[in-house]
């Protein structure tokens, strides 16, 4: 299996390489791809050294699979060029997610919808992936009418520049700003850009991607996405209104039996999910599961996951694993 990693020198690209190695992905040749300024750099993978190439060279090498994390513009231009030579692309950008002809995949939820006709596959937004890993089983069993989501997002979602800004602010050093305001000792209710409806793109990703993946246009989702000075992962406070009655103990049992989800919910011993402990892990951690006494059939959840792993790299590699085991055969 010849695999290209497009954006190999970026934050998510590096994690994708780590995950490919950790999971012993069946690749026979790695093609690390990056912008011209990185061409020729050496990437170490499984003890071997590979030279970074540019996109045009990578297409000519006709990889079987290309894992993209290089931004929407690059994906819009180059994913079709890879697909044209028979490469199956899994893209982390938002470029293809809401395209009616492209599939938006969380393997535990809808990988089975993939067919040999799918050459450009979209990886959902990180905050959508962790949300739906918890919501999907609940929606299947009880039906969800409405979800109100508040996110507390890691600065790693913005990239290296944001991590550097926080470090500079810790050390009282001037430097390039990733955000319009200081992030140290702050919370910024502004992830991605504002739209005409006064929501941000990040908030509308949660609304739109959730409906597409769960296949339910009637499901009401409204979000507030906030950036906080944390690196380990994204946290989400979620209020759900269900269509049917439930018992909290049954919700906890359902989630604890869901592949990829870990319930951490023993408040009597201060046990609940936190990004500092989710960092570097692939599971989605759920806790603070409790009834919302202000409304019938309503409950609250707290969901935490490493946004660079299950939120991006691991989900992408899991899609590639599904392709190898079910489409390439």
37 known ligand binder: yes
Where in 135-194 is the site for ligand 2RA (CB under 6 A)? 153, 157-158, 191
Stretch that binds ligand 2RA, among 68-76, 124-132, 169-177, 261-269 (CB under 6 A): 124-132
Give me 291's structure tokens: 């009834």
Q: Determine which residue in the list 59, 90, 120, 126 makes contact with ligand 2RA, applying CB under 6 A.
A: 126
As a whole number of angstroms, the distance between CA 327 and CA 322 comes to 7
Determine whether the annotation assigns residue 38 to a binding site.
yes
Closer CB to ligand 2RA, residue 127 or residue 258? 127
The answer on whether 237 is annotated among ligand-binding residues is no
Is 234 a known active-site residue? yes
Q: Are 119 and 87 in contact (CB under 8 A)?
A: yes
CA angle 274, 280, 285 (to 5 degrees): 40
β-bridge mates for residue 43, sequence order = 50
Nearer to ligand 2RA, 210 or 307 (CB): 307
Q: Of these residues, 136, 139, 191, 234, which one is catalytic?
A: 234
CB of 225 to ligand 2RA, least distance (A): 8
Residue whose pair of structure tokens reads 């409906």 in the numeric block: 211
Instruction: Identify the CA nearest to 63 among candidates 108, 25, 93, 18.
Output: 25
Per-residue 3-state assignment (H helix, E strand, C coil) for 1-37: CEEEEECCCCHHHHHHHHHHHHCCCCCCEEEEECCHH
Per the annotation, the verdict on 126 as an active-site residue is yes
Name the minimum Å distance from CB 282 to ligand 2RA.
Answer: 17
CA dihedral sign, ordered 54, 55, 59, 62: positive
16 is in an annotated binding site: no
Residue 183 CA to its chain's centroid (Å): 22
Q: Is 308 in the site for ligand 2RA (CB under 6 A)?
A: no
Question: Helices (DSSP H) in 9-125: which residue ranges?
Answer: 11-22, 55-60, 72-84, 107-110
Is position 324 an interface residue for ligand 2RA (rule: CB under 6 A)?
Answer: no
Beta carbon nearer to ligand 2RA, 44 or 184:
184
Q: How far is the CB of 60 from ligand 2RA (least distance, A)?
A: 30
**What CA–CA distance (Å, rounded) separates 247 from 122?**
35
**Residue 309, annotated as binding a ligand:** no
Q: Tell me the window of 73-81, 121-129, 130-138, 296-304 that interacts with ligand 2RA (CB under 6 A).
A: 121-129
Region of 304 please: left (phi>0), alpha (psi -120 to 50) or beta.
beta
User: In the window 190-219, what residues touch ligand 2RA (CB under 6 A)?
Assistant: 191, 202
CB neighbourhood size of 80 (10 A): 13
Return the active site residues: 126, 234
Tell me the binding residues for NADP(+).
9-12, 37-38, 307
Binding-site ranges for ligand 2RA (CB under 6 A): 125-127, 153, 157-158, 191, 202, 307
């Amino acid at each position: 299996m010849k695999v290209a990693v497009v954006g190999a020198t970026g934050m998510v690209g590096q994690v994708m390489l780590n995950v490919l190695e950790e999971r012993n992905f069946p690749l026979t040749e790695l093609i690390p791809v990056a912008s011209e300024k990185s061409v020729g750099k050496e990437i170490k993978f499984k003890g071997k050294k590979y030279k970074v190439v540019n996109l045009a060279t990578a297409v000519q090498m006709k990889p079987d699979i290309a894992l993209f994390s290089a931004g929407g513009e690059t994906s819009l231009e180059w994913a079709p060029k890879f697909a044209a030579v028979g490469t199956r692309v899994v893209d982390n950008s938002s470029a293809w997610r809401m395209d009616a002809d492209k599939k938006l995949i969380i393997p535990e939820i809808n990988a089975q919808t993939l067919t040999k006709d799918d050459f450009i596959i979209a990886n959902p937004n990180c905050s959508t992936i962790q949300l739906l890993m918890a919501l999907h089983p609940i929606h299947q069993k009880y039906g969800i009418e409405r979800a109100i989501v508040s996110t507390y997002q890691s600065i790693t979602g913005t990239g290296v520049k944001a991590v550097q800004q926080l470090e500079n602010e810790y050390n009282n050093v001037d430097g390039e700003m990733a955000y319009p305001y200081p992030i140290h000792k702050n919370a910024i209710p502004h992830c991605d850009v504002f739209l005409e409806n006064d929501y941000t793109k990040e908030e509308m990703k949660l609304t739109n991607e959730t409906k597409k993946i769960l296949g339910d246009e009637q499901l009401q989702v409204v979000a507030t996405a906030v950036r906080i000075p944390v690196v380990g992962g994204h946290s989400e406070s979620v209020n759900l209104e269900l269509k049917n009655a439930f018992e909290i103990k049954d919700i906890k049992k359902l989630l604890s039996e869901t592949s990829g989800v870990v319930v951490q919910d023993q408040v009597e011993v201060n046990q609940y999910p936190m990004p500092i402990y989710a960092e570097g892990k692939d599971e989605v951690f759920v806790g603070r599961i409790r009834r919302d006494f202000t409304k019938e059939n309503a409950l609250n959840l707290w969901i935490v996951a490493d946004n660079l792993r299950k939120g991006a790299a691991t989900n992408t590699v899991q899609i590639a694993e599904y392709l190898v085991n079910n489409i390439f055969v």
